[in-house]
Amino acid sequence: MIQAIAPFLLIFPIVGALINGFFGRRIQNTGGPNKGELVSGWIGTLMSFAAFGVAIALFLALRNDYGPHIVTLFDWFNVGDFHVPWEMQIDRLSSVMLLVVTGVGSLIHIYAIGYMHGDKNFARFFTYLNLFMFFMLILVTGSSYLVLFVGWEGVGLASFLLIGFWFDKNRKIDGVYEGVLNSNASRKAFVANRFGDLFMILAMSLMFWTFGSMQFEEVFAAATHGFEAGDKSLPLILTLITLFLLLGATGKSAQIPFFVWLPDAMAGPTPVSALMHAATMVTSGIYLLVRSNVLLEIVRESGYELFGLVTTPELVAMTGAITALYAGLIAMTQFDIKKVLAYSTVSQLGFMIAAVGMGAYVAAMFHLVTHAFFKALLFMGAGSVIHGMEHGHHHLHDHGHGHDDHHDHGEADGHHVVAAAVHGHHDESSHDSAVVTHTAAAHDDHADHHVEDDFDPQDMRYMGNIKKYMPWTTTVYIIGALALSGIVPFAGFWSKDEILAHASFNFNGGDGGWIFRVVTWLLTAAAICTAFYMGRQLKMVFFGHERHEATYHASESNRHMVAPLVVLAVLSLLGGILNFPYFSEADATASLGHYAEPYESCGDGKIRECFSGGHGDSHGDDAHGDADTHAADDSHSDDAHAEDAAHGDDHSEAHDYGINLALEHWLEPALQSFELTEEHIVHLPHTAQSVQWRVAIQSTILAVLALCASFFFVYRGFNSESRKADDIDPLFTVPILSSFLTGMQRLPLDTLYMGVLRPIFNAFSWFCGIILDWDFYHDFVHEQLIRAPYLWFSGFVSKTLDRGLLDGGLVLGVGKLLRGFSGIYKNFQSGYVRNYALGLFLGVVGLVLYFILG
């Protein structure tokens, strides 16, 4: 059955892409604008749902047999002895990815129908979405690194097409057309990704050179075999391979050093941000590393240290952890609603990469899945807010300035944003200086500044109190934000906590070494940042006081947009049960409704029975039997959980089954390093044997504190009705006196905030934004280290090689040669009869001489 239906995974999306690609415009323009759009959109959506159906069928088929199924589609190419068949590998790991990609993807398709309503290129958008789905499925199902690479490049292409989707926008920002900015962003993403791809190619070449194959199974088997046989050169080679794979993953999954493209990618339509740059495409790097778990574990086991410092798995963990914290810090300083989420995505991907580096592959996949749920939710919620703000802004245009009593708000913000509306870090970080300058001129010109095109519907400073106008969006957004922050019952808590617990356990009780210690601290700090910036965003967008007239006219988005949000909100709420802590069969009848129950019912002494996935060392002789039993017993419940989650149903049917660490049992057969650990060939870092209470409580408390802190500090004083919104920063109008006076009037805490914390925060954000991110990273690293040599090299190639040698020497040389010859020959064709006669005469003379003398 798997053999029969697997190809349809690829067929459905590509058919959808072809239909919309060739006939989309015609479909879109027939039967009135709305109807045509709906037909075109639903073609794409149904194709996506069909792929989702196939994914579910595959998932069900894998319940009882977990071995990888290789589905050969056709022979791709044969070079000598090197045969590359086009094969799909369907196993439990890819089935999880398939469910996420097609499931979340389908919801986003529905959302896009509502979001892209009225766009003249509606059908083109759905063509690209389906095309992206097609390539993503190739990536996930490929049975070799080479096929994976095809999908890898394909999603890069789809990403490029979609980021630059609005390349023809002709609104001007700072004298540059927005369309140009959009296409610049798409090119940036494309080029940054190519850097990562270069390393992918290196990894694959090295793999082929060493093992003679790029098939997952063959490479892993060869590597294991070589390692067992004690091949001396193998650790070095595998270290290089995994290093290159890591660099490849940093490109696609937006980690240091290649993360810069992801925030810019927000130029694309919001469904794209949700689909690719949060939920699916960026996770392909995680998938790649999880897929290569055998190679990583062999390197870890061999202990080969790069430059004598770190092994590559440790490097992976460090990369992820540093990125997580770094991006988390930047996210706290952003004002663009989508950029906060973009940096948050970078940060969360860092968590996953760190988990992979620590050997917590299941935790990484778990976080990948839950993150897909709530980040897609957050992005689409943000899209809904943006939509509402745009609607409100249009309303303003149509109905004049609106109410008088709101005039002041608009006035202030119109000025406030003259400088700040410009995209880019400079402006976002320098917002406060803009505030300083605005006040003097603010009251002079009483024109309609507030409805000018400076309005940026994505700027959180324009928002505020949206909860009053968009209740549905607000509700689901809060759920998503809590899930991301890691507050207890929500999905994000379970997955993030599992990563933190793993890190913490290994540095407390394990033999992980200093790396785990550092990673734990970095990740904990990143988790605090996460809660803080999400709280800040909630406060700025949904709570407080309206700060722009457009907000008053914001309205709830249409059904196509809200419905997927609700589904994702349910998933974000319940996603945690995907990998619920182990729960013995006897307790299975207990209600699943209480999330804390598995912890509680385990009690004090029995904690060891409730261990979360103790496959680290509790296996012994009957390892295989163990795994088999698990597979048989758990398959039922695993499916029930995952399916429930996937469908967003209530999970009441699951009551009959026992709770297990569902995802871990599901994935275990697909991750060979588990098996190799049982055979004592490699040793996965130990997973926590008991519930890590300390970590769970500590991270929860920290998250709650950070959330509260953000609500307390951000826009402090602006949520009271008595304050006018144009008193944006009274502190800054008269730097010394005013701050003193206001300080006296305020509570001491306010003074503390205004006088100490706020400048510190500003300086800090300036540091993060200007020094760390913009000046150092963009200007120095990218301009000097990458751009300049690249320009020099391309100049060399183009001027010297191409124009000089190829054009001048070869192409023009041939031309010159021909012209020279023809210059001689053309004298014979002068057109003067006497010249021909001369020829004739000479010929006759020649003949005569020949006959006479010869």
Partner 1 sequence: MDEVTIGWYIALAAILFSMGALGVLVRRNALIIFMSIELMLNAGNLLFVAFARHLGDLDGQIWVFFTMTVAAAEVAVGLALAVSIFRNRDSVNIDDMNMMKG
DSSP state letter for 821: H
* Contact region with partner 1 (CB under 8 A), list: 148-156, 374-382, 586-594, 827-835: 827-835
* Contact region with partner 1 (CB under 8 A), list: 111-119, 570-578, 631-639, 829-837: 829-837
151 close to 139: Cβ distance less than 8 angstroms: yes
Give the residue with the Cβ less far from partner 1, 79 or 833.
833
Site for partner 1 in 408-447 (CB under 8 A): none
Give the residue with the Cβ less far from partner 1, 309 or 852.
852
* Contact region with partner 1 (CB under 8 A), list: 232-240, 355-363, 676-684, 826-834: 826-834
Minimum CB separation from partner 1 for residue 186, in Å? 55
- The verdict on 838 binding partner 1 (CB under 8 A) reads yes
Residue 727 CB-density burial (10 A; 0-12 exposed, 13-18 middle, 19+ buried): middle
Minimum CB separation from partner 1 for residue 852, in Å? 12
Considering only 307, 832, 850, 851, the residue that binds partner 1 (CB under 8 A) is 832
Site for partner 1 in 668-727 (CB under 8 A): none
Rg (CA), the chain: 31
* Contact region with partner 1 (CB under 8 A), list: 610-618, 716-724, 791-799, 834-842: 834-842
670 close to 91: Cβ distance less than 8 angstroms: yes
DSSP state letter for 471: H
Task: Point out which residues pair with 319 in neighbouring strands.
Answer: none
- The verdict on 841 binding partner 1 (CB under 8 A) reads yes
Token couple for 765? 């954000």
* Contact region with partner 1 (CB under 8 A), list: 262-270, 653-661, 726-734, 830-838: 830-838
Tell me how far apart the alpha carbons of residues 687 and 613 are, in angstroms, rounded to a whole number. Answer: 7
Minimum CB separation from partner 1 for residue 847, in Å? 15
Residue owning tokens 């940036």? 188
Alpha-carbon distances of 249 from 195, 277, 286, 332, 400, rounded to whole Å: 11, 14, 7, 25, 51
- The verdict on 825 binding partner 1 (CB under 8 A) reads no
Give the residue with the Cβ less far from partner 1, 759 or 839.
839
Site string for partner 1, 369-408 (x = CB under 8 A): ----------------------------------------
- The verdict on 850 binding partner 1 (CB under 8 A) reads no
Minimum CB separation from partner 1 for residue 839, in Å? 10
Alpha-carbon distances of 825 from 539, 814, 838, rounded to whole Å: 84, 16, 16
Considering only 604, 831, 853, 854, the residue that binds partner 1 (CB under 8 A) is 831
Residue type, 263: P
Residue 234: closest CA among 254, 207, 198: 207
Residue owning tokens 């190639």? 797
Considering only 232, 399, 446, 834, the residue that binds partner 1 (CB under 8 A) is 834
Q: 682 in helix, strand or coil?
A: coil
Altogether, the residues listed in the chain come to a count of 854
Query: Could you tell me which residues come within 8 angstroms of residue 104 by beta carbon, excluding any fewer than 6 positions away?
Result: 275, 279, 280, 372, 373, 376, 568
* Contact region with partner 1 (CB under 8 A), list: 277-285, 298-306, 331-339, 833-841: 833-841
Tell me how far apart the alpha carbons of residues 264 and 249 are, in angstroms, rounded to a whole number. Answer: 18
Give the residue with the Cβ less far from partner 1, 308 or 831.
831
- The verdict on 74 binding partner 1 (CB under 8 A) reads no
Tell me how far apart the alpha carbons of residues 689 and 619 are, in angstroms, rounded to a whole number. Answer: 12
- Total residues in contact with partner 1, by rule CB under 8 A: 7
Minimum CB separation from partner 1 for residue 828, in Å? 15
Give the residue with the Cβ less far from partner 1, 175 or 831.
831
* Contact region with partner 1 (CB under 8 A), list: 230-238, 356-364, 397-405, 828-836: 828-836
Token couple for 674? 């588990």
Task: Point out which residues pair with 142 in neighbouring strands.
Answer: 88
Give the residue with the Cβ less far from partner 1, 403 or 826.
826
Tell me how far apart the alpha carbons of residues 707 and 714 are, in angstroms, rounded to a whole number. Answer: 11
647-654: long-range contacts, CB 8 A cutoff, minimum separation 24? 648/567, 648/568, 648/570, 648/571, 648/574, 651/574, 651/577, 651/592, 654/577, 654/592
- The verdict on 514 binding partner 1 (CB under 8 A) reads no
* Contact region with partner 1 (CB under 8 A), list: 235-243, 316-324, 335-343, 825-833: 825-833
- The verdict on 837 binding partner 1 (CB under 8 A) reads yes
Site for partner 1 in 618-647 (CB under 8 A): none
Alpha-carbon distances of 842 from 4, 256, 826, rounded to whole Å: 83, 82, 19
Give the residue with the Cβ less far from partner 1, 776 or 841.
841
Residue owning tokens 């192409």? 811
Give the residue with the Cβ less far from partner 1, 4 or 833.
833
What residues make contact with partner 1 under the rule CB under 8 A?
831-834, 837-838, 841
